[in-house]
Amino acid sequence: MNKRDLVVVGGGPAGMAAAVAAHENGVKDILLVERDQYLGGILNQCIHTGFGLDYFKELLTGPEYADRFIKKIRAIPDIEISLRSFVVRLAGDRTVTYLKPGGMFHVRPKALIMATGCRERTREMIHIPGTRPAGIFSAGLAQKLINIEGLLPGKEVVIIGSGDIGLIMARRFTLEGAKVKAILEIQPATRGLARNVVQCVEDFDIPIYFNHKVLKIGGRDRVEKVTVAKVDAAMKEVPGTEVVIDCDTVLVSVGLIPENEMIEMAGVDIDKRTNSPVSKEVNTTSIPGIFVCGNSFKVYDYVDSVTADSELAGRLAAEYIRGRA
Amino acid sequence: MTKKMVCIECPKSCLISVDIENCKVAKVTGAKCPRGVKYALAEAVTPARLFTATVIAEGLDLKLIPVRTDKPIPKKDIFRAVEEIRKLRIGKPVKAGETIVENFLGLGIKLLATREAVKGGCKNV
Ligand code: SF4
């Protein structure tokens, strides 16, 4: 069993900010584990601008925002970075078990910071009936395919939900030569930021329909169409408003949910509704010495706020370690 | 005449009004910071956007290099920019912030890489 002062799980903006802040506050023995082969997390696929104005007073793209922290963290020899390291078990005594090419490792730190981010809500969570053809993607997966892998998932796209990633992908698909036939939002207004409606939707005349829901996804092997209808104030379908839209791809952009299976396994109390740890203060959990920060604590709108709050997590962990020494 | 617009400079998305009298901007209201005032003045005359995309990489550890312009480009040039980007290839390692094209589309605007890429294979620590 390896011992450490601090282990940080997750090498995205939250984990990097927490590790750097802990180091600035006196923690000198830190291991950061990241499952991907790069640091930066989801920022690497967010190639659009909109990051950094609060924290860096500069408008940056996602990869640039990540790059600032990657440089910072790599310049600190006290922080060991373990990439391609996938955490498979977490115990209540803070023992972390992770897989990495070459084997399985166990480490028990004095304090643990979980910065595992969030995942996307899926079609299953919003109950859309119909067949199960290929061509249905979460918006973030489509973003990864286009921006990292260079693959265009489809040519005629309908987007369900108007979360920010969906709006941003509407523009991305359009620029890559696909046709976005509709964005459907069941609520009377967008869930995304107004700036994204302007620069991603209005700039490209993409039709966005509020108070509309998907009744059915159709198609045998591949998506062929979606059937949509207007809804009333009670979210009930208005009879006679059914329309069929032909498309080969459906994107689902219906929000994010914190990823917390590991701390749940360790026995941390989780709020089943939000999937956040039950806690009176930001970054703390029901188990002393286990901290959670960034989108795994709660889903944030801005990465700048993730950084600020995660720095606080780093300081809290440093205090906790000092208190035990 | 009053033009109303949503500032897209940062996620706060302020609603800004630009009062135009005798073809001149008389007043800008609603911006929470100077950046927004600058945006509103430009948007009222020639709307422009920072352009982001990816360029195909060859022989590097990434398949695609994300890029952006260093200044906003006129909205009308966006699809021309897309065409131009498709023709580009990056074969040399790059750093975030490095210039890829000096004079992009002849607009006197730079195209910058936004992520580091190194030679071939996967990058380990
Ligand atoms: S005016 Fe300033 S604060 Fe408001 S959206 Fe624009 S940049 Fe942001």
pLDDT band at B125 (very low <50, low <70, confident <90, very high): very low
CA distance B32 to A200: 22
Taking the CA of residue A92 as centre, how many other CA atoms within 13 Å lie in the half-sphere pointing to its CB?
Answer: 5
Distance CA A281, CA A31 (A): 25
Question: A69, exposed or middle or buried, with CB in 10 Å at 0-12, 13-18, 19+?
Answer: buried
Sequential DSSP letters for A127-189: T--B---B-EEEHHHHHHIIIII-----SEEEEES--HHHHHHHHHHHHTT-EEEEEE-SSSS
What 8-state DSSP symbol labels residue A114? Answer: E
What does the pLDDT read at residue B124? 43
CB atoms A67 and B96 under 8 Å: yes
Residue entry with tokens 């993607």? A137
In terms of CA atoms, which chain B residue is nearest residue A149? B63
Cα–Cα distance measured from residue A253 to residue A259, given in angstroms and rounded to the nearest whole number:
17
Residue with tokens 């590991």: A262
Cα torsion angle, B23, B28, B34, B35, sign: negative
Check A150 against B5: CB less than 8 A apart: no
CA distance A56 to A13: 13
Q: Give all domains of chain B, ordered by start, each with its CATH number.
A: 2-45 (no CATH), 52-113 (3.10.530.10)
Residue among A175, A166, A299, A182 at smallest CA distance from A230: A182
The letter for the amino acid at A64 is E
CB B29 within 8 A of CB B2: no
Q: Tell me if A63 and B66 make a contact (CB, 8 A cut-off).
A: yes
Residue B89 has pLDDT above 60, yes or no: yes
What pLDDT is stored for residue B3 in this prediction?
A: 86
Q: Is B16 on the interface with A (CB under 8 A)?
A: no
> Which residues, at least 6 apart from A96, have a Cβ–Cβ distance to it below 8 Å?
A7, A9, A33, A87, A89, A90, A106, A107, A108, A109, A112
Q: Residue A130's pLDDT is what?
A: 79
pLDDT tens track for A33-58: 999 999 999 999 999 999 999 999 99
Mean pLDDT for B100-116 is 97
Summarised one tens digit per residue, pLDDT across range B53-71 is: 999 999 999 999 999 999 9
Report the percentage of chain A scoring pLDDT > 90. Answer: 90
How far is A293 from B52, CA to CA, in rounded Å? 29
Is the Cβ atom of B35 under 6 angstroms away from ligand 1?
yes
The Cα A9–Cα A308 span in angstroms is: 18
Task: Dig out the tokens for A212 from the structure.
Answer: 């509309």
CA distances from A146 to A174, A203, A254, B58, B92 (A): 12, 20, 19, 17, 22
Q: Degrees (nearest 5) of the Cα angle A265, A269, A273?
A: 105
The SS3 of residue A298 is: coil
A196 by DSSP, 3-state: which?
helix
Q: Which residue's CA is the closest to the ligand 1 atom numbered 6?
A: B36
Task: Identify the closest residue of chain A to B50 by CA–CA distance.
Answer: A49
- Does B2 touch chain A if contact means CB atoms closer than 8 Å? no
Among candidate residues B50, B55, B53, the one with its CA nearest the CA of residue B73: B50
Do the beta carbons of residue A164 and residue A196 sit within 8 Å?
Answer: yes
pLDDT band at residue A166, thresholds of 50, 70 and 90?
Answer: very high
- pLDDT, mean over chain B: 91
What average pLDDT score do residues B5-34 get?
Answer: 89
pLDDT tens sequence across A87-127: 999 999 999 999 999 999 999 999 999 999 999 987 666 67
